[in-house]
Structure 1
Amino acid sequence: MHLHFRGRKCIIEGHRCMSMAQIRLAYGKNLLELQYDDSYFDVLGDEKIEKPLSDIEVNQKFDNPIQSPPPEDLVNPDGKVLIVVPDATRRSASDQVVNLLVRRLIAAGVEPHKMGIIFATGIHRSVTEEEKKNLLTPFIAQRIKTFNHSAYDLMKIAGFQSKRFADFGLTKTGIRIELNRLLLDFDHVFLIGSITFHYFAGFTGGRKLICPGLASAETILQTHKLSFDCAEKDRRRGVGAGILRGNLVHETFVEIAEKVKPSFSINTIVNRTGAALEIFCGHWLISHEEACDYYLKRYVVNIEERRDFVIVSCGGFPLDLNMIQAHKALEAASYACNDGGTIVLLAECDDGLGKSDFLKWFEAANSDELADNLCENYEVNGQTAWSLLKKTERFKVKIMTELEDEICRKMRMEKIKSLDGIIPPKTKGYIMPYGAKFLVKI
């Protein structure tokens, strides 16, 4: 666990005994120690120690799927199976789950050369060879052919017919659905993803493996644009963390995934190390909805008041791999902090900002100007930049990070070198060790 209480000590201050506690917070692949007064600070979202699912227990889930036959009963020996998995920015227990799934399919007569695994990168960078081994195990990475999705097609950019994407028609809102053509080369599509909160799609996993995971850059752009209301210069009403019903972004993702008709979906809930604590598998949509319901009941933290000081860790690697990913923890902390208060964000960002041109958005004088720029020339990460700038206007944001000082200043954040003395005396606040894994409600 990231969270370790190692006893308390009492320090006499006047006539009051300060009850000092210690906690370890994840920063990249390391842990940072913080001492705090637990009569002023509360910890939000303590991850319980739970035993991960064994291989036997995972196979039992496969034996009893939700409104679906077991995976091996869906295929025939002549069928071709494409397994869709997240990239390196997500932990989904894919190493365990894919290994067991592939073995079952082979036992059912599906030959390894008729299987493929594609990384649903969306507009993220490609998965490296080392990351493939970590995500799949070296055995699977060597035995099953893997593909890196790319959201860009030079032929299409040059004005020619796309060779990378297939046209699946239009959504109800008129968005052109362009998805990786590999989806047409296989008889069955299996989805594997993890469930956590997403700040405008409601939850991760499920339908997001198809869009944005395997969509073209243009389809990703247009679907993400649904999250923003240009007239209000704000996030569209009805979209947000933990919300599916009435969420236009989620509903559009579902509509697009329906075009593919995935054969099976495996939705994992993982601990901080990426091991599976629970699995909901079966019908691609129903199993995802049940997983989201389960997650919502277990990972909401109710508070009675917002406070002036919040310290938040993203939860370590890979959740703080880059700034675009780390923003999700800042979003989570914003629900617990008073306007004008201070948020301290721990985000190593070993992979930088996450997009080379991300900083250009911060040339805007304020979030309203950035919103105008965004609506004139929408880009997916521009919406993230707007959301980040909006928070640095509402709160004083201090960040412990490997990003350069000037980059932090440009994003209107103050870079700090350590947590020593970071908490002002007699200030009430919260500590959030797991960032966006929990949803704070008041």
Structure 2
Amino acid sequence: MKMIDIRYGRERISLEIPDAFEVIAAGPESEPLSDHRIGELIDKPIGTAMLEEIVSPGETVLFVVPDATRASGAGQIINLLVRRLIANGTMPYDIAAIFATGIHRPVTESEKAEILTPFIAQRIKTLDHGSRDLMRIVNVGELSDGTPVELNRALLEFDRVVTIGSVGFHYFAGFTGGRKLICPGLASNRTITATHRLAFDFERQTRAEGVAPGNLEGNPVHQAFAEAASKVKVDLSVSTIVNGRGEVTGLFCGDLFGAHIAACENYAATHTVATERQYENVVVSCGGSPFDINIIQAHKSLEAASRACKPGGRIYFVAECGDGLGRPDLLKWFEASDSRELADNLANGYQVNGQTAWSLLSIAERFDVRIVTSLPDDAVGKMRLRKIPVETFQSEVRDLSEGCVIPAGAGILVRLRS
């Protein structure tokens, strides 16, 4: 037997696993970048001028940063950039940060300090985005398919816009970060719904062609997000790669699209793991907070586990979900008798998180999913998952003969080697 610690929220669970168990991970965590090294990388932007050359004294600057569901290292980056701006003649009252929440809940005051650091949160203006706040939404054009592109008007009210976000795998957009900070991050509910809808093939009742984690080419969702983001001017973009502790280990700066693509290529090269076979038993942790902050975020790790598990196999899903479901209306989708009926309901009245529910239910139908979580029993049962206490989880895994452990499901792409 061997011991492994896996993350659960902000805590760890010690797990004794059989010697035959394999650990599927991206490799040793990279060391965090120093402020000096980050400064060097910021001084070598891809396809743009340097920050100090872009922003003139007297101009207003808007930083676009992720919400609490994303670990991005934004605090370290924005501290360095704000100090540079002030040294270059920009006044603190001309600088603001807006949180790209999309349809997520608003960011709390304590989360703002955690994301930006207390030093920055107390010294610059912070703005909240509301996807249904029509007073703050403005139409900036249309996509090629006629979809209206409605974004937060702050993107037009500031002289300069700088985005900061991390890159990781996304189960239907291919990768997080980059263009997603603009759309869906600062988009209206209507634009978010229309672009997310492209992920689903309603006729075949499955994912649309090209929609997959780690894939941008021919991915209709990525293409729509990128086209929407191109409707506004982003002057500088910082795409980070973070380790399991949320520390910046890689950084790509410059053009919104160029820096993002470079970061995605680097991330995919270091976080894609090929396996010779699928396993009868798979243990997956999301990697702790914020990756298991709610079930909507956590289920992305369940997607990773499903790629490593044999059909009909068992998945132990470790996801605290301290913030609950993520959306109060998520459970209504599970009133469907099965995933086919849920897909029909999606076709008749599409909503973004209905697709998350379909993904969850589809996996629950194909595998025996046992979840270690703080979610209420009735909610877990409605999602067709089986809730087990930590002690039962530890005991059952100890008695298994074969399987694998994925310690950080949110940060890995499992590919079956052909």
TM-score bracket, shorter-length normalisation: over 0.9
Distance between the aligned counterparts of 1:396 and 1:424, measured in 2? 17
**Counterpart in the other structure of 1:6:** none
Q: Does 1:439 align with 2:413?
A: yes
Residue in structure 2 matching 1:333, options 295, 298, 305: 305
- From 11, 30, 37, the equivalent of 1:50 is 30
CA RMSD after TM alignment = 1.0
The aligned counterpart of 2:175 is 203
Question: What is the deviation of 1:98?
Answer: 0.4
What per-residue deviation string (whole Å, max 9, x for no partner) do you get for residues 306-326 of structure 1? 111000000001111101011
Alignment of 1:28 onto 2:9:
yes
Deviation at 1:427, TM superposition (A): 3.1
Q: What amino acid is aligned across from residue 97 of structure 1 in structure 2?
A: I
Secondary structure of the 2:122 match is helix
Identity of aligned residues (%): 51
Quote the Cα distance in structure 2 between the aligned partners of 1:286 and 1:184: 22
Match of 1:215 among 167, 187, 198: 187
| Structure 1 residues 424 and 138, CA gap change in structure 2 (3 angstroms) | closer
Query: How many Å separate the matches in 1 of 2:324 and 2:172?
Result: 23
Q: Are 1:421 and 2:402 counterparts? A: no
Matched with 2:19 is 38
Runs of 5+ consecutive residues of structure 2 not aligned to the other structure: none
State the partner residue of 1:106. Answer: 86
Of 188, 198, 216 in structure 2, the residue corresponding to residue 226 of structure 1 is 198
Shift of 1:115: 1.1
Please say if 1:391 is aligned against 2:355.
no
Contact 1:46 1:433 survives alignment (8 Å)? no
Q: CA-to-partner distance for each residue in 1:347-406, whole Å, 9 max, x for gaps? A: 111110000111000000000000000110100000000000000000010000011111
Query: How far did residue 78 of structure 1 move?
Result: 2.0
- Aligned positions, number: 414
CA distance in 2, matches of 1:76, 1:424: 61
Question: How far has the Cα of 1:31 moved from its partner?
Answer: 0.4
Residue 347 in 1 paired to residue 327 in 2? no
Distance 1:235 1:229 in 2: 5
Distance in 2 separating the partners of 1:114 and 1:181 = 16
CA positional deviation for 1:38: 2.0
Partner of 2:53: 73
Structure 1 position 50, deviation (Å): 2.5
Q: Aligned pair 1:243/2:223, yes or no?
A: no
Report the alpha carbon displacement of residue 205 of structure 1 after superposing the two structures with TM: 0.4
Three-state SS of the structure 2 residue aligned to 1:421 is helix
Alignment of 1:54-133 (within 5 A): 54-133=34-113
Q: Distance in 2 between matches of 1:232 and 1:351?
A: 34
Tell me the distance in 2 between the aligned counterparts of 1:425 and 1:126. Answer: 43
Residues 308, 427 of structure 1: 8 Å contact kept: no
Which residue of the partner structure matches residue 145 of structure 2?
A: 173
Distance 1:414 1:308 in 2: 17
1:182 aligned to which of 149, 154, 160 = 154
Secondary structure of the residue aligned to 2:397 is coil
Q: Distance in 2 between matches of 1:329 and 1:400?
A: 13
CA contact (8 A) 1:29 1:316 kept: yes
Deviation of 1:428 after TM superposition, in Å, equals 2.1
| Alignment check: 8 A CA contact 1:336 1:440 kept | yes
Deviation at residue 424 of structure 1 after TM alignment: 7.0
Assess if the C-alpha contact under 8 Å between 2:287 and 2:408 holds in 1.
yes
* SS of 1:311 mapped into structure 2: strand
Corresponding residue to 2:246 among 262, 274, 288: 274
2:121 partner letter: A
2:363 counterpart letter in structure 1 = K
In structure 2, how many angstroms separate the alpha carbons of the residues matched to 1:257 and 1:376?
28
Secondary structure at the aligned position of 2:162 is classed as strand
Q: Equivalent residue of 2:365, what SS? A: helix
Partner SS, residue 143 of structure 1: coil
Distance 1:49 1:312 in 2: 18
Q: Does 1:381 align with 2:353?
A: yes
Deviation at 1:49, TM superposition (A): 3.6
TM-score (norm 1): 0.92
User: Following the alignment from structure 1 to structure 2, what is the Cα–Cα distance between the partners of residues 325 and 278?
Assistant: 23
Letter in 1 for 2:52: E
CA contact (8 A) 2:334 2:382 kept: yes
What's the CA shift string for 1:75-97, capped at 9, x where partnerless? 11121111000000001001100
Cα distance between partner residues in 2 of 1:22 and 1:269: 28
The residue that corresponds to 2:236 in the other structure is 264
Specify the structure having the higher radius of gyration (Cα). Answer: 1
- Residue 354 of structure 1 aligns to a residue in which SS? coil
CA distance in 2, matches of 1:46, 1:224: 29
TM-score by length of 2: 0.98
- Asked whether the equivalents of residues 26 and 270 of structure 2 are also in contact (C-alpha less than 8 Å), the reply is no
Which deviates further from its counterpart, 114-123 or 59-68?
59-68
Q: How big is the shift at 1:163?
A: 2.1
> What is the deviation of 1:426?
5.4
Query: C-alpha deviations, 1:156-199, integer Å up to 9, x for none?
Result: xxxxxx42111011101221100001111011110100010000
Residues 59 and 94, structure 2, Cα contact 8 Å, conserved in 1: yes
Give, in whole Å, the separation in 2 of the partners of 1:416 and 1:233: 31
